[in-house]
Amino acid sequence: MDATAAISERDIVFSAADGLSLYAREIHPATETTRHPVICLPGLSRNGRDFDGIGRKIASDASLPRRVILLDSRGRGRSARDGDPTCYNVAQEMADLLTLMERLSLAEAIFIGTSRGGIILHALAAAAPDKIVAAVLNDIGPVIETEGLLGIRDGLSGHRVFKDFTEAELALRARYGAQFPALGDSDWADMARAIHAERDGAVMADFDPAIMAPFQALTSETALPSAWPHYDALAARPLLVLRGAHSDILSQETADEMIRRAEGRAKLVTVTGQGHVPLLHTAPAAAAIRAFLAQLD
């Protein structure tokens, strides 16, 4: 994205239907635009900061600027922690998304869903397909590899506390460096600050540990359900599928089948040198997203 335009940002604090305080952030061009906005949905333990880089690229693109809304799902980032852990589920998080859209008077939008965010989009396509103009699925599909999900669970277990962001960054490099050889120093530093937050003089992952409770019983023998009917509803819209070359969540086989079933409406881009999940501000992910958005309106 070459030429850039001025942007501004604002915080959005709103209440879910059950009263929980939720947070989103909007990045918008300085000039008004009638293009469809982009809503970004983060992964299981992640938050809207994951989309800072790509969100600013989209909003500041002088030729194709769009509003971008970054949502912190309940229990993550600056959204409140839920006293009832059973509310950390896809159906509830989809309902929260619809509440946000109602608050912003958005009848429809383009979506970018990373991991869990993409699962929410599968559910939305089944429940309210008219809300979706188009979608980007970041390393997620209707079939999730069990071993990859076990890796996510084990990596998030213990909710480690670090003395500072540098120590948190070193821990990320130690665990995920082999899956992400393409990342540079600034990428690792940005990832550490996106995932973690400083509280009471310490740095820790910015999510409620109770989110992980449903995954504790998961084993390598667990048969995870597929969501092909939901995907088929989603693939009726224009779709960009991003897959990390080293992904252990979205297999090449599943990605290929997603493209086949979409019958020309979907494109697959492999993000080299990255695993689950690719950083969207890096190439070729950012270039693929820009080209995809340029085709829409």
| CB distance 199 to 97 below 8 Å | no
Distance in angstroms (rounded) separating the CA atoms of residues 217 and 80: 26
pLDDT at 1: 47
pLDDT at 179: 97
Are 35 and 64 in contact by the 8 Å Cβ rule? The answer is yes
* DSSP sequence for the chain: --SB--EEEEEEEEE-TTS-EEEEEEEEESS---SPPEEEE--TT--GGGGHHHHHHHHHBSSS---EEEEE-TTBTTSPPPS-GGG-SHHHHHHHHHHHHHHTT-S-EEEEEETHHHHHHHHHHHH-GGGEEEEEEES--SS--HHHHHHHHHHHTT--EESSHHHHHHHHHHHHGGG-TT--HHHHHHHHHHHEEEETTEEEESB-GGGGGGGTT--TT--PPP-HHHHHHHTTS-EEEEEETT-SSS-HHHHHHHHHHHTTSEEEEEETT--SS--TTSTTHHHHHHHHHHTT-
0.75 surpassed by pTM? yes
Best CA proximity match to 183, nearest among 198, 193, 194, 172: 172
Indicate the domain borders of the chain.
7-294
Number of residues assigned to the chain: 297
Q: How far apart are CA 256 and CA 263, in angstroms?
A: 12
The whole-number pLDDT of residue 155 equals 85
For helices 285-294 and 52-60, the axis angle rounded to 10 degrees is 40
Q: What kind of fold does domain 7-294 have according to CATH?
A: Rossmann fold (3.40.50)
| Whole-number pLDDT of residue 2 | 62
Q: What is the mean pLDDT of each run of 10 residues along the chain (297 residues)?
A: 85 99 98 96 98 98 96 99 97 99 99 99 98 99 97 84 97 96 98 96 96 92 95 98 98 99 98 98 96 96
